[in-house]
Amino acid sequence: MAQRSARKWTMAVAAGLLGATALTGCSNGSSDSNSSANGASGTEKIKLSFETSVYAEAPHKKAIDALIQKYNEANPNVEITVHGTDYENFWDKLTTEIIAGTQGDIVQVYPENIATYNALQGDQGAFVNLDDKIKGTDLETGLVGQDLSKVNGSYYALSSYAWGSTGIFYRKSLFQQAGIDPASIRTLDDFKAAAIKLGMDTNGDGTMDQYGFSSVVGSHPFVSSEWYRLVARPVSGGVFFGDGEAGPYTADRINVNSPANVWAAEWWQDLMENPQATPPGTRDKKVSREMFWNGQAAMVMDGPWFIGMTKERDESLMDDLGLIAQPSVVYEGQTYQPNPHNYPLVSMISKNSKHQEEAWKFIEWMASPEAQEIISGSGMIPSSKAYAGTEAYAQENPLAAQFFDFQNNAYAPAVMDPPIAELGTLNQILINAAQDMFVAKQDAQTVLDKAADEMKKAMN
């Protein structure tokens, strides 16, 4: 009896093992997410993986799929697969992958992410130094955002996809009704006066139903970024370090509570508290945009992607969509040019990639006119100055071309977030401070002093 039982147990275990083996068949042979590990020999296809945070967005997905298809037509021996997930979770996934060394052959990020993610593999870095391919070539000067793709003076990414900056979108009809000439908005004070004038009770029921400017007020990161990109950075030079967020990045150079930043915060609080200028309550960016589209807000701060979003939302709104540059800021009798953030999506090559040269060829090809034309469908502005600076592009994309014009004529050089590993912590401190100032309406000086202490601790 005992023997029979033992035999049955043995059979059950054997069956279990057999089942597990069969299940293993369900697994992907090339399970390593860095597909380049497959190696290439003779006629075998070269496999590259392209990892990006924007693939979940329909216009980018369409553009990236079309890019790969076009590239494959000319290079049938190269197979590129795209890896991506929703924007919020992309960064955690990328962190895990870099720690494990399984990141894609090509990883697309924003310039401020380069230093942080490169440092996850310690001193040797997770990504390839591209100095020998970029320095002294046309790529160094011909691509918007290329100058931002450096860490310690070396290039770690190629800005061959697209970029965006910010401006003030407005509803032409609402400006006309209020008798405001958009060209007259040159300074922040003009902007505030227009916002107040645009706020009104349109149906006469005694309650406000139209506001001048819909800003983000809430827990969304834009609660701080709209403030510092429109008001603080032009006058203070930086909310983290000053002098254009330049190094050396030491605790004693923390600039968040400088007099100019405190003034900027008080100015923004004043705008938020004005019942005509901005709507009451809290809202994230999505609500803010909807208010603009619904005609409840006459102005919104946004980037070139907003043009495509508006077109998708309601094509008839396009005729009513206008764009002005971010206004200059007058502080203590001096006028400061706007210096808004630039958002180029740049591509890095993984050090673990076994096909670094092929990866480079692909990202370099992305800067070509045929690739840039495809990229223009993404809603952002193609990076090649030679392509996006043409008259043909301006005629085809008049609003997007305005951004190009702002960048060249109205804006000072973009002030970018500092390329340091502590940026995530500093950003969170600033978001918390912005919530205290603009949602909880606490005293700006006190809040920014506290934020400065926390930032100094983080830097130490």
Q: Which residues bind other proteins (CB under 8 A)?
A: 1, 4-5, 8-9, 12, 16, 23-24, 26-33, 49, 53-58, 61-62, 81-89, 92-93, 96, 99-102, 285-287, 289-291, 293-294, 296, 305-306, 309, 313-314
Q: How far is the CB of 440 from other proteins (least distance, A)?
A: 24
Helix (H), strand (E), coil (C) string for the chain: CHHHHHHHHHHHHHHHHHHHHHHHCCCCCCCCCCHHHHCCCCCCCEEEEEEECCCCCHHHHHHHHHHHHHHHHHCCCEEEEEECCCHHHHHHHHHHHHHHCCCCCEEEECHHHHHHHHHHHHHHCCECCCHHHHCCCHHHHHECCHHHCEECCEECCECCCEECCCEEEEEHHHHHHHCCCHHHCCEHHHHHHHHHHHCECCCCCCCCCEEEECCCECCCCHHHHHHHHHHHHHHHCCCCCCCCCCCCCCHHHCCCCCHHHHHHHHHHHHHHHCCCCCCCCCECHHHHHHHHHCCCEEEEEECCHHHHHHHHHCHHHHHHEEEECCCEEEECCEEECCCCCCCCCEEEEECCCCCHHHHHHHHHHCCCHHHHHHHHHHCCEECEHHHHCCHHHHHHCHHHHHHHHHHHHHCCCCCCCCCCCCHHHHHHHHHHHHHHHHCCCCCHHHHHHHHHHHHHHHHC
CA distance 356 to 79: 14
Nearer to other proteins, 302 or 436 (CB): 302
Work out how close the CB of 150 gets to other proteins at its nearest, in angstroms, rounded to a whole number: 24
The structure tokens listed for 188 are 């922040």
Minimum gap (Å) between residue 292 Cβ and other proteins: 11
Cα–Cα nearest to 283, from 442, 437, 171, 438:
438
Rounded to the nearest whole angstrom, what is the least distance from the CB of residue 100 to other proteins in the complex? 5
Which is nearer to other proteins, 150 or 220 (by Cβ)? 220
CB of 60 to other proteins, least distance (A): 8
| Between 287 and 399, CB nearer to other proteins | 287
Q: Which is nearer to other proteins, 133 or 283 (CB)?
A: 283
- Distance from C-alpha of 233 to C-alpha of 150, rounded to nearest angstrom: 21
Task: Give 428 or 445: the residue with its C-beta nearer to other proteins.
Answer: 428
Q: State the nearest-atom distance from the C-beta of 236 to other proteins, in Å.
A: 26
Beta carbon of residue 313, minimum distance to other proteins (angstroms, whole number):
7
Report, in Å, the least distance between residue 92 CB and other proteins.
8
Q: Measured from the CB atom, is 291 or 455 closer to other proteins?
A: 291
Q: Which is nearer to other proteins, 62 or 253 (CB)?
A: 62
- Among 195, 371, 378, 209, smallest CA distance to 300 is for 195
Nearer to other proteins, 21 or 395 (CB): 21
Complex with other proteins: residue 88 or 181, whichever CB lies closer: 88
Residue with Cβ nearer other proteins (257 or 378): 378
* CA separation, residue 237 to residues 153, 182, 219, 244, 325 (Å): 21, 27, 25, 5, 19
Q: Which of 166, 163, 159, 222 is nearest to 343 (CA)?
A: 163
Shortest distance in whole angstroms from residue 96 CB to other proteins:
5
State the minimum distance, in angstroms, from the CB of residue 219 to other proteins.
15
| Closest CB to other proteins among residues 70, 93 | 93
CB of 86 to other proteins, least distance (A): 4
